[in-house]
Structures are given as C-alpha cells and as structure tokens.
Chain A
Amino acid sequence: MNTIIFAVIFPLIAGFFLWLLFRNKRLEGDRSALSIAMIAVSVIELAAVVNLFVCDLTGVGFDRVWLGWGVGGLGLSFRYTGFRGIFGMQAAFAWFVTFLFAKQFMKNDTRVIRYDFFNLMTLGATMGIFYAADFFTLFFFFEMMSFTSFMWVAHRQTYASQYASGTYLGIAVAGGMAILMGMFIIYVSFGTLDFAALGELRAAESLPVFAAAVCMFLGFGAKAGAFPVHVWLPASYTEAPAPATALLSAILSKTGVFGLLLVTVELLPYSNNWGKLVLVLGVITMALGGIRGVMSNNFKTTIAYSSMSQIGFILVGVGMQALTAEAMALGSAKGMSSEAHFAAEAYQVYHMAVNGTLLHMINHSLVKLALFMIAGIVFLNVGSYELNKVRGFGHGKPFLLVTFLAAALGVGGIPLLNGYVSKTLLHESIAGYAEVLNGLSGAGVSVGLSPAFIRGTEYLFLFSGGLTLAYMAKLFVVLFVERNEDSLLQYEYEEKNKYASVLSKAAVALCVFPIPLIGMLPNIVADGVAKYGFMGAAIEGALAVEQERMQYFSVRNLSGALISIAAAVAVYLFIVRVLMLRKKGEGYREIFPSWLDMEKYVYRDVFYRFFAFLLGIIARILDSIVDIAVVFLRKTVYRDKALPYALPEGNRVTHLLGRSMECARRFYCVVTKKEYKAKNYEHKLALKSMDLFENLRIIERSLSFGLFMFCVGLGLTMIYLLLVN
C-alpha cells in the first residue's frame, strides 16, 4: 500500500536528483540523456500506478494510508478508489507520452533541465491530488502543482509568456486562497476534512456550507477553466511549450474537475443550488469556449478554447449529478422509490450523468494529449501557430491526417469514436432528467427548475457539440484541405517527410489508439471503465436497482449526433467561411471583438488595478492618520515656540514695510507683466533704519555729552561762585 506514497514522492525525489545531476550540463548529448532519464522515470511511475490497479483488481484490500508525522499540521492521508486509480494511471500515462514527445520538442531548448525539474514536481503533486483522502492533502498538493506548473507557462520567458504566466499565477493563488477559505468553513462546520467522513455525515445544505462550496468552485473551477475564472486559460495554454500544454489540458484541468466532483459527491450530494450553479456555469463555459474556439485564428488557441468548452461539457455532467441525485432523494422522500418505474428511471439518469462525466474526462484527456502534441509537431516545422502560416501543412502526411481526424472527430462526438459515447450519456442524462422532473411534478414535488430551463440546456448542449465539430472542421480544412498562399512554402510543406521523430509519432499514436476502441465497443470498454471508476454519492434504495444496458447506437441517440452535425455545418459555413475569411487576401482573421476581453478589462483593470488602487488609497489614509494628527497639533495647539532671537537687521517696522513694498512691487510686476526681480526692500530699509539709528545715537550721544559738559561747567561755575563769595 505504500505504493501510493511511492507514486507521490518518487517523482519529487527523482526531480531533485536529476536536477543535481544535470544542472550544469547544457550540451545536446546531455539533453538527450536527460530526456531518456525522464522517460525512464515516467515508466517507473506508470508501473507503480498500474501495480496499484492490479492489486485492487486482484483483491489485495487497501484502506486509507496515513503519512505520519503530522505533515503540515493535519497530516497527509491517501486512499485508493477506482476513480482515483483511473486518473492516477491517466496522469502517469500522460506524463509518459509527453516525455516521449518532449525528447524531440525540447531538443533545442537550453533550459530543458529547469522544465524537466518542474515537470517532475508537478507529476508528484498531481499524484498527490488524485490519491488524496482529505481536503487538506488535496489542497497541499494542489498548491504545489499550481506553483510548479507556473514554470511551464513562464518557460519561454518572452513578453507574452510573462504576461500569461502573471495571469496564471494570480488566478492560481487567488483560487488557492478561495479553496482554503472553503476548507476553513468545512473544518469548522464538521470538524473533519476527510472525504469519507464528510460523505457519511450527509450534511444538509446550509448557508456556510454552500459558501464553502462556492469558494471551492472558484478555486477548483479556476484550474479546470470554468467560467468566470477561465481567463488565464487561453493565453497560458498558448504560451506553454506544447508537451506542457498537453498536460495542462489533459491532466491539470482534470484535477480541478476532481475537486469539484469531490464537493458534489461528498459535501453537497443532494444540493439543488449547487447543481444549478455548476450546471449554469458549465453551460456558459461550454458555449463560450466553443464560440471563441470557432472565432480564433490560432491553431493552438483554438484547441485551448476547445479544452475550455469540453470542460464545460464535463461541468454540465457534474451539475446533472447533483440535480439527479436531488431528484432521487426527493422521490424517495415522497415514497416514490416504491414505484419501481420512477426509481429505476431516476437511478438510470443519475448513473448516466456520473458515467458520462467520468468518460468525458477520460476521452477529453486522450484527445487533447493527441491534439496538443500534433500542434507541437506543426509548430516544430512551421515555427508558428497562426492559421495562415500553418495552412496546407498537412498535405502528404497520412499519419498526421489519421491521428488528427481520429482525435478531432472523437472529441466532436461522431459515432464509433469515443466522444460520442460520453456526450450521448451526458445528453441522455439531461433528457432523462426532464422526464424524471415530470414524474416528480406529477407527484406534487417541485424542484424549482422549469422544464424550459432543462430544454434550453439540452439545446445548448447539442449546439455546443456542433461548435466542437465546427472548430475542428476549421482546423482540419486549414491543415489538410487548403493550400498555403505562399506556393513555395506549400511545396516545402509537401516535400517534408521527416516532420516528426519516431518517438513523437509513437506518443501521438498511443493517445489515439484507445479512441476508436472506446467508441466501437462502448458496452464493453466504456461501461467497464465507468463501472470500475464509479464515483457517486451513496444513495440508499436506488443503488439496489440494476443498471440498464445503455443502447448507445439507438436512433434516438444517433439523432442527437445528427443535430450537432447540422449545427456544425451551419456554424462553420457562416462564421468561418463567411465572417473570418471575409476579406480576400488576409486569410483567417480573429473576429472575436477585443473589447469583450474579460481578462484584460475585468480582471486586470477592475480587480487588479482599480481595487488595488482603492485599497491603497484607503490604506494610505489610515496609515497617515496619526502622523497627520501629530502634524496638525504641532501646527496649531502645540506650535513650536519661536526662539527668542534678535532680528539680524532692521526692526519690525522696516520688515513690515519692506515686505509690503516687496509684495506691492511683485503685484505691480504681475499686473504690468514685467519680469519680477527682487529689489530687496527689506534689506534696504533695514540699512536705512540702521543708518538712521546710528545717526540718532550719535546725536543722542553728542547731545548728552554736551549736556554733561554743560553740567560740569555749571558745577564749576557754582563752585567758583561759592569760592568768590
């Protein structure tokens, strides 16, 4: 059972070790050796998680694992469930294929040791997240992952990547704080952060708990890329190196979804409000991502928006889980679970939502790994992601054609490929939920959701499926159908046979391989995976119902795909062919209005600049209150007493007079617009007065001397008169 701890710690140790070994080696041979070491590490990691899976299958029982010593104050604990096992394997697999791919992609990058170091750190942290048994462990590794993956986005050190990584880190830190707040509330409310314990508590929804859930949504949703905290996503996905983007989209976004699922399953299993919140934001994410994906003129950004849109689909599934669980709970509270029909129906719907969510997470992971690596291959050869430069690159490259097509159609929900399975499940859960609601309202239970709302969600769901196909069609046409306007370049593209190394091709092929497998044998592969990885709230009564075998290829389900395809054709023709290519000779243009840029105008301007400015002003005022009071007192009541000093020259009258003359002169100069030169009246008057006083004193003294002499003379005269008499 210590394999879990091994899986978490091994990449961290390996990262440090390899960093020490390679930190000063920058030659090409060293880089190649490092790449091979990385592949070896990921193989060991993969073996470890597969070992866990096999142990579980063979029935070697395991409960939770505590990592002792109270790490971080509360201690870390891990556990294994089917869901965690699947995503642990998925993560190890994703790292393995991206390391295969990175050997070629990062060949000329001198900073590859730094990239690899943070890559392994992120791997360890991701494992920690998926195997976490409580919120504290989850948070512990989630924050680690946010910071180490920051270095992916910042890796290229260009201005654009600095900007993107700034947003990434800002949202990540803020999201982390939001999660922490949620954890505080949960811990204070329930006294535990353990998922299993929380699940058993079956907390009734209260305001603090819902606030905690909203905080968690902000944090985990940010990593997933959910509206309205998705703003970091497009730029960061575009700026990170292609293998890192593949991981960001395939695995890191799933850690966010995993967090949201834990909230849905363990914390608020029957919450109508939580379900509505996730559903509404999921629908917005899904539609917005799709629209922006169609309108983008950058190969990689399109796929990035596609990730956002697919996360929206997954969030719809998460929301439906909460809503259907609530419907079940309401039904059984009404005693409707005795009505076998209702119970079976509600349970099927719930199951579809849970399975659809899980399968779409897996499918999206596989597809995005493949697509971002294909984008990386294109970038290696073309040196740009812009559609106008990429145009025509795919001609004469059957491997690229097959893999791209499989991935694009797979995520687009074309029957016989994997996306169709998961999207069908999700769609059916929405449609089925509407029926369950009908049943409930027939029994007099109101859920507070209008049928129109569900109907609208369903249409938007199908429309967004169409958007997926539309932007994938755009990329396909650009890459494989159209020719570059520069015919020389087109010739060069067509002649290029060695456009990817064997390892890179193998990496892409490994990701594409399961796509038709899941799509063609849904009842075996998909249902099997879903059954093993089932992660749902334990709902009494309903669980006893046998799961119905899903008819994936029924007419009803196929017609949903057809609606999406029809929408796709319309959107592609109108938006891409008409709007984007409107001006001849300019090729594809970005047509999403720039003033709708939420990242720049809402987050950077309002949140970052304006609020910081406001807070700064308030803080500055508070900061200087006492100092101002001191200064005020010193200027008024406690004024410094003027030192008793003699005026250096002149007296009060001359100063007053001199100053007023100076003022008058200045005033005169201002009025007559003459250049003002100080005439120094004060000084002159002082001199004058000194002269005056000097003279006065002379006069005074001579007068007194005269008087004195006069007195003396008078005295002498008196004496003489006395003597004579």
Chain B
Amino acid sequence: MNELILLPIILPILLGLVLLLLPERVFGNRKWLVNMTGVSFLLCAALGCFAVSGAAGEQSALLLFRIVGEIPVYFAIDDLGRLFAGVVTLVFLLVGFFSLSYMQNEEHEKRYYAFYLITYGVLMGLDFAGNLVTLYLFYELMTIVSVPLVLHHGTKEAVMAGLKYLIYSFCGAYMALFGIYFLYSFEASNMLAFTPGGSMDIGRAAQSGNSGMLLAAVFLMLLGFGVKAGMFPLHAWLPTAHPVAPAPASAFLSGIIVKGGVLAIIRTVFYCVGVDALRGTWVQTVWAVLAVVTLVMGSALAFKEKALKKRLAYSTVSNLSYILLGLSMMNRTAFVGSLLHVVFHAVIKSALFLFAGALIFNTGRTKVNDFIGLARRMPTLYWCYTVVSLGLIGIPPTSGLVSKWYLAIGCLESQMGAVGWIGAAALLVSALLTAGYLLPISIKGFLYAPVDSSLITKYHEPSPLMLVPIMIFAALTILFGVFPMPLIRFLGGIAAALM
C-alpha cells in the first residue's frame, strides 16, 4: 500500500483547491468557514501523523511515474523525512488554529486558508520526496504556493516583498537546477534515489576529470538552496518577506518553509554527493564561513531592529545559519545538533511570531517600544514568550541549550581548526545578542510602567484559540530541554547512517 504516501500530500492540496474555488457565499457566515477549515486542518494533520508514524528505520517508497519516460518522480519515507514531516505537521496544526482566531480581522480569509492548506500538502511532498528531481519539483511548488501568503495584505509593500521573495527564490532554484543537471550525469542508479552516504558515483566523476566541476556544482546548489535557508549573501528576501505576511503566515514561513531549504541541502550533501567527497574541500570551508557570517550578521541586525516582526525575521536568518553551520561541519555531533535545532527553532520561532501576532491583534501596533508594560494585562502570553526566548538564547532548562551544545561540540570536534573554533565562539556571541534582542521585550513588558496607561486597560489576554498554541509551544520548549534523549537517539540513528 505504498500509494498511501500520496494521501497526506494530495488531500491538503485538494482541500485547498476546493476551498479556493468554492465561491464565498457557499459558506454564508464566518463561523461555518472556520469550522470547515478547522476540520480540514485536523484531517490533514491526522493523515500527516499517520504518515509519520512508524518505527525508526522503517522505509516505504513509491515510484509514481517517469517524466518523458526517463526522469523518475519518486517518493520515499525515511527517518529524515519523518522528522521534517512531523515538525511541519505539528507547527501546521497549532499555527492553523491560531490563524482561525487571528484572521477574523483580515480580508480574504478563505483564500488564506486555501493556500495554507496547499502549502502544507506541498511541504509534505517535499519531505517525502525520494530523489532530487521530485524534491526540486516540490521545492519550486513550495515557493509558488507560499507567495500568496506573503502577498496576502495586497499592499504595495507586500507585493514588492512577494516579488523579491519570488526573484530570490527562483534565482536560487536555478543555481540548484544547474547542480542537479550536473549530478544527474554521475548518478549511480537510474532511480536517482537518495541514499544515505551519497548516491553518486564519485569515482566516475573523478576519472572523467570533473572533480573541480563537481565541487563547483555542489557549491552552487548550496548557495541556491541556501537562499531559502536565508544564507548570506542571498538572504535579503527573508527579512523583507516574512514580516509583511499576516502573523500566523510569518510563523509558518519562518518556522517551517525556510526549513525546506535546509532539507534540500541535507538531501544534496548527505544523500546525493556524500560527505566524503566534500570533507576538507574548499566548499566545506566557504560554506562554514558563510554560515558564521550569516549567524552573527542576523543577530546583530535583529539587535538593532525596532519592528518586532522584522526583528524576529532577522533572528530567523541567524538561527538558520546555526543549522547550516552544524551541517557544514560534517560530523555526527554537529549533524545531530543541526537537526535538533531544526525542531527547536521551528517550535520557538513559531511561538515568537504567534506572540507578535497576538500583540498586533490586540494593540494594532508593531514596534517593540509600543509593547512596554503590557505584561500585567496579559501575563500568560508574556510568560510563554519569556520561556521561548530563553529557549532561543539557550538557557537551561530549555531546549536551545541542548541543540547549541551539540552544535558547538560538533564545531570544535571537526577537523576544520580555526573555523570550528570561530564557529563555536560565534554561536555564543550570537546567543548573547539573542538575549539582547529578546529579553528586553519581556523585561520591559513586566517591569516597566506602560507609556500610555489609559490605553492599557483596553488590552487583555488573547482568546484561548490564540493562547493555547503558544502555551503548547512554550511547554514543548521546556519538555525538549528537560527530556531530549528520545529525540537525540532518533537523530543519532539518522546521523550514524550518513557518516
């Protein structure tokens, strides 16, 4: 029954299309639309859970068809795909429920939900893609279907941001496409399937005198997929595009969609080319240096930024580079750290954007300094924020410390000498800056007197539908911090198969 793989991919897309095509009047009042959407969310997430469940190491695969009788479109569920799909499903469901309450103030609600569902389906496709071609197809689809989320407000700013997003993404995708063409000619099997440790025939590439070219192609793919993951120098779309979307969409973009780039890089480096071909080459060094530059730069910019959502977007730039730095080290410890950070960052960043959304929903303001002294009106919200902030900084007993531990140890263990040391130090500098840009919001919320005390009585704790997802994220942040071992063991299994 391998065809069942397709179900969690196709159903959300179908539901989304139905929602998109049905005329507005079918739903009558808003309540009906919200109920139907909520049920669709639950249904899709349940299917997603079903697809993800299964013992570690279990594999199932499906060859759908071959394009022009040659290029295979191929799906496979492995542990890495399960991990990503699990994270996507979790965040999708919680952010989805948040948006059911948040979007009541926005126009074109139906369109938003429709594209949200479609994006989820496409992401599941990306996670379950079994070879580079399929991955590429869904990668491009992901870009296209998530653009309406960015464009949602339809303001000039949003449209320009959406265009910037599209241009950067396509630019990156074409770089990656070149790499795919190149890799295709040295594939070991005709299925091009992802194989732990690399599916390429490196020997053949070396014999034909293409080693240098191979490295260049891989580097282009890194840069190209790195666009989605916000890696310097092609990261500039991220802080522009993420903040203009509605808050739950920002959460989904920053928490999940950017991880698509990370997944693509992992698939390329660890499942196609193989680390042995890259370890010790200039590609590894340049990659690590770019990641270090990005992670310090992102934090420094977030530190200086005054608009809350933009600050969080810069923080995403920085945190994604934690992940990329870990991957670039190409050893097990750092790899586990990276995947841990994929999970933790998804949880934390979603919660942070939802927090921003709840504040914006409540106050209609966007600047950090507008939120001084609000915590006494919404203590639960601010407590959750404080917990996830500590998580992002990496203060025990939250999850951030665990991922940072593995990342930094991996950096120092790597054979890269100074780069590894600088990487570990940069992680800590960035954590310090993270404390500098996240904690003042909480401190000023709790301990400072509000600027306008007459206004503050209007504000109140957000509705349960908005608050509970944030609380769950906060609880997960602590839970993963205190009991990370099951996850670490699972990831250790993935890493062991690769290196």
Contact = CB atoms under 8 A, between A and B. Distances in A.
A624 B397 CA distance: 37
Contacts of B485: 69-70, 73
A679 B61 CA distance: 77
Interface in A61-100: 69-74
A625 B432 contact: no
A141 B395 CA distance: 10
B402 A173 contact: no
Interface string B235-262: 1100100000000000000000000000
Contacts of A615: 296, 300, 303
Size bin of chain B's contact surface: 35 or more
Given A72-B397, A187-B409, A181 B428 contact: yes
Contacts of A140: 396-397
A176 to B, nearest CB: 7
A177 B303 contact: no
A626 B301 contact: no
A624 B236 contact: yes
Contacts of B436: 170, 612
A626 B233 contact: yes
A43 B447 CA distance: 31
Interface stretch (B87-95, B149-157, B476-484): B476-484
Given A169-B439, A173-B435, A174-B432, A181 B425 contact: yes
Contacts of B424: 181, 184
B291 to A, nearest CB: 13
A74 B412 CA distance: 17
A393 interface: no
A531 B233 CA distance: 62
B297 A184 contact: no
B448 interface: yes
Nearest to B398: A72
B296 A70 contact: no
A620 B484 CA distance: 36
Size bin of chain A's contact surface: 35 or more
Contacts of B490: none
A616 interface: yes
A619 B483 contact: no
Contacts of B188: none
A73 B409 contact: no
A169 B232 CA distance: 31
B307 to A, nearest CB: 15
B277 interface: no
A72 B408 contact: no
**Chief secondary structure at chain A's binding surface:** helix
A493 B296 CA distance: 58
Given A72-B402, A623-B297, A626-B233, A612 B303 contact: yes
A188 interface: yes
A154 interface: yes
A566 interface: no
A185 B412 contact: yes
B184 interface: no
A187 B395 CA distance: 18
Contact of B303 (A165, A616, A627): A616
Interface in A131-171: 139-141, 143-144, 147, 154, 157, 162, 165-166, 169-170
A642 interface: no
A471 B347 CA distance: 54
Residue among A72, A154, A166 facing the most chain B CB atoms (10 A cut-off): A72
A139 B396 contact: yes
A647 interface: no
A618 interface: yes
B396 A177 contact: no
Contacts of B404: 180
Nearest to B446: A154
A622 interface: yes
Nearest to A144: B396
B483 A69 contact: yes
B390 interface: yes
Contact of A73 (B239, B300, B412, B488): B488
Interface in B407-459: 408-409, 412-413, 424-425, 428-429, 431-432, 435-436, 439, 443, 447-449
A154 B428 contact: no
B304 interface: yes
B293 interface: yes
Contacts of A69: 482-483, 485
A139 B483 CA distance: 17
B406 A619 contact: no
A140 B425 CA distance: 19
Given A144-B397, A154-B447, A188-B409, A173 B432 contact: yes
Interface in A617-643: 618-620, 622-627
Given A157-B447, A181-B408, A184-B412, 11 more contacts: A69-B482, A71-B483, A72-B484, A73-B401, A73-B485, A140-B396, A169-B443, A174-B432, A618-B297, A619-B298, A619-B301
25 contacts: A69-B485, A70-B488, A71-B397, A72-B481, A73-B406, A140-B396, A140-B397, A144-B396, A147-B390, A157-B447, A162-B447, A170-B436, A176-B395, A177-B429, A180-B394, A180-B404, A181-B425, A181-B428, A184-B408, A184-B424, A188-B412, A622-B297, A626-B233, A626-B234, A627-B236
Interface of B: 232-236, 239, 293, 296-298, 300-301, 303-304, 390, 393-397, 401-402, 404-406, 408-409, 412-413, 424-425, 428-429, 431-432, 435-436, 439, 443, 447-449, 481-485, 488
